[in-house]
Amino acid sequence: MRILVTGGCGFIGSNFIRYLFQKYPEAEIVNLDALTYAGNPENLKEFQDNPRYSFIKGRVEDGETVNNIMANIDAVVHFAAESHVDRSIVDATPFVMTNVRGTQVLLDAALKHKVQKFVHVSTDEVYGALGAEGTFNEESSFRPRSPYAASKAAADLLAQAYFHTHHLPVCIVRPSNNYGPYQYPEKLIPLMVTNLLEGKRVPVYGKGENVRDWLFVLDNCSAIDLVLEKGKPGEAYNIGGKCEKRNIEVVKTVLKIMSLGEEWIEFVPDRPGHDFRYALDNSKIERELGWSPGTPFEEGIRQTVDWYLKHEDWWRPLKARLFQESKGFWTRK
């Protein structure tokens, strides 16, 4: 099988490509990535000379490039997206272009070339925010509350429309908050770990009471692979970690693992439209495909912290660039 992975140099995409190579020794993988700020070819440098791996630098909204690639593709797993909520608040334009227009271009090309399976990687943020109780299932209404979430909701609806209108064999996955190796250091967990390694405090929005469902990235990869193999076209699947944590709990877990005290926490003003809580109902993917998350949270955090400790050469250049681009916004002392 020849698989196109879009955004394969990003956090989840690069972990997924690594997962595919380990599990499927005969698979051929084409990685289309624009190498924007969060796309790092170093994430996959061990595959650069592998005859089963091809990298193409390009944008998903570039119709000519996408059509040329898609002519020899059996399946698509579409990760490519602008994904940082705070950046979408500052400027929504790249989120609409990549997440909406780019998805439409890929769907058109997949339809034209009769791709056998298209897995669109969405997010739990399309559902909006929950109160203290309840969970989202696949039939829950979309109520996105940030430009990022709105762009992903639009892409979801496009993918569903191409199945219903054109019978394109599309599946949608909606994972909860991923963490693990190779995550760009503007996100909560790698920002914490790298700040602490640099002797800086950890910025926490508000009082850290916002709740997220945490999912180790390799568990997410196994679920997406299962949907690629066995998912029913036209269906969406939630991929939750069954691990709800307040942000302050996550911070304290990292501090404990790194043998540091709470004096390293700095509470900062909350961001606009900060959703209080997300939580996913996994019963559909458990029932239909037999998947459930396998990595306990503290074990996953220990693996993640250990990875960043051992890969300073990977994250330090990114952190320096991030600091310059944001003029210190993400790395307050």
Contact in structure between 63 and 28 (CB atoms under 8 Å): no
148 is catalytic: yes
125 is catalytic: yes
Q: Which of 127, 148, 182, 184 is catalytic?
A: 148
| Nearest-angstrom CA–CA distance, 186 and 168 | 35
Residues 6+ apart with CB under 8 A from 146: 85, 88, 89, 125, 273, 275
Contact in structure between 231 and 171 (CB atoms under 8 Å): yes
Q: Which of 61, 82, 125, 156 is catalytic?
A: 125
Give residue 84's identity as a one-letter amino acid code: H
Q: Which of 28, 33, 124, 275 is catalytic?
A: 124
| Nearest-angstrom CA–CA distance, 215 and 3 | 24
- The alpha-helical segments, DSSP class H, found in 167-274 are 188-197, 217-230, 247-257
Question: Exposure pattern of 127-140 as b/e (b: 16+ CB <10 Å)?
Answer: bbbbeeeebbebeb
124 is catalytic: yes
Q: How many CB atoms lie within 10 A of CB 269?
A: 8
- Cα-based distances in Å from 181 to 36, 160, 169, 264: 19, 31, 31, 23
| Nearest-angstrom CA–CA distance, 204 and 218 | 26
Residues 6+ apart with CB under 8 A from 77: 3, 4, 5, 6, 16, 119, 121, 224, 228
- Smallest CA-to-CA distance from 173 within 214, 212, 223 is with 223
Question: Rg for the chain (alpha carbons), in Å?
Answer: 19
| Nearest-angstrom CA–CA distance, 20 and 66 | 22
Question: Exposure pattern of 216-226 as b/e (b: 16+ CB <10 Å)?
Answer: bbbbbbbbbbb
Active-site amino acid positions: 124-125, 148
